Amino acid sequence: MFNMSRRDAMRAAGFAAALGLNSRLSIIAPANAQPAPDPGKGFYKYMIGSVEVTALYDGVWKKPHDPAFIKNASVDETKDALAKAGMTTDYVPIPLTVLVLKIGDRLVMIDSGSGVGQWQPTAVSLPDNLKGAGIDPAKVSTILVSHFHPDHIFGLMQKGTNAPNYPDAEIIVSATEYKWWTEPGRVEKLPEARKPLGTRIQAVFPTWKNFTLVEGEKEVVPGVRLVNAPGHTPGHSAFLLASGKQQLMISNDVAYVPALLAPHPEWQGAYDQDGPLAVETRRKVLDRVIADKIAICGAHFPFPGAGSFAKDGAGYAFTPVQA
């Protein structure tokens, strides 16, 4: 149940407002929440200290219900969780948001989106929203990659040719993630549904010279530190942005659909490669942002993908920012 106290609600709202996220931030209650329509404007800017953060909408996957989607919950249970969050139960809405950080004169992209329909035919909006936000893709100097799932890396490659979309940008990724996917013999070990992805990765990425592999939790660009967040994939990474007295946990797929995984952090998604480890990581990251009063964003949170978490019994309550 959504049992966030008034004190926690005000604290979460006040904290997010203090970051300048949105003066219209509100606690979303089942009675007044909206499903997940495409936003009227596909980009949203806010500041973390001196860093300008631009959230860019890439689209939404209206995922059909599937009993295998959550390994330890039924379709009825997932529908119930969506309903309690005030969201549609006709499907599971999985939006995708890409971030660009402006750190001084440097543009840093977090993941690359799904490649104009290469992931889902309804996820094609990133190029238009980059343009609308006044961001020239050619000026992106660094791309931080959280993990090698298609909705996060297909934007690196052109459809059909696999030519690089950002040939001059440095691509930074966990060494664990890169080495796992490019290991000889890996494709043969993958489930059938994942073999095309593994084949594409192995055919393309080892030929590129602009990858930088990171061991451990190091600062990867000024003010941004890689945070190990395994489970979803072996080398899945979050990124912690700190500027002045403000911080933002860029959680990527740690808690990908908050309507499901905030009240039920123990649920294991079909796309979590190591389900128990993903649950452990999820709790660790969410407990950290709560304890340290850190704002959080996620690739599949409702657009613009930012908000805050609070403890709610054995689970969590998520307060989204309204664009």
Show me where the domains of the chain are located: 6-320
State the Cα–Cα distance between residues 313 and 323, nearest whole angstrom: 28
Token pair in block for residue 32: 């007044």
| Burial track 233-249 (b if 16+ CB lie within 10 A, e otherwise) | bbbbbbbbbbbeebbbb
What number is the average pLDDT over the span 56-63? 96
- Cα dist from 77 to 70, 81, 254, whole Å: 10, 6, 20
Any idea what DSSP says for residue 167? T
Q: Which of 181, 185, 215 is nearest to 198 (CA)?
A: 181
pLDDT for position 40: 84
Whether this model's pTM surpasses 0.75: yes
- Cα dist from 213 to 30, 115, 145, 228, whole Å: 43, 23, 10, 13
What number is the average pLDDT over the span 186-198? 96
pLDDT for position 177: 98
Specify whether domain 6-320 bears CATH 3.60.15.10: yes
Asked if 112 contacts 119 with a C-beta cutoff of 8 angstroms, the reply is: no
Sign of CA dihedral 102, 103, 108, 109: negative
What are the tens digits of pLDDT across the range 107-141? 999 999 999 999 999 999 999 999 999 999 999 99
21 or 215: which carries more pLDDT confidence? 215
Helix axes 195-204, 175-182, angle to 10 degrees: 110
pLDDT for position 15: 43
State the Cα–Cα distance between residues 200 and 118, nearest whole angstrom: 12
Token pair in block for residue 94: 């999985």
Helices (H) and strands (E) in the chain, counts: 9, 14
pLDDT band at residue 34 under the 50/70/90 scheme: very low
Percent over 90 (pLDDT), the chain: 86
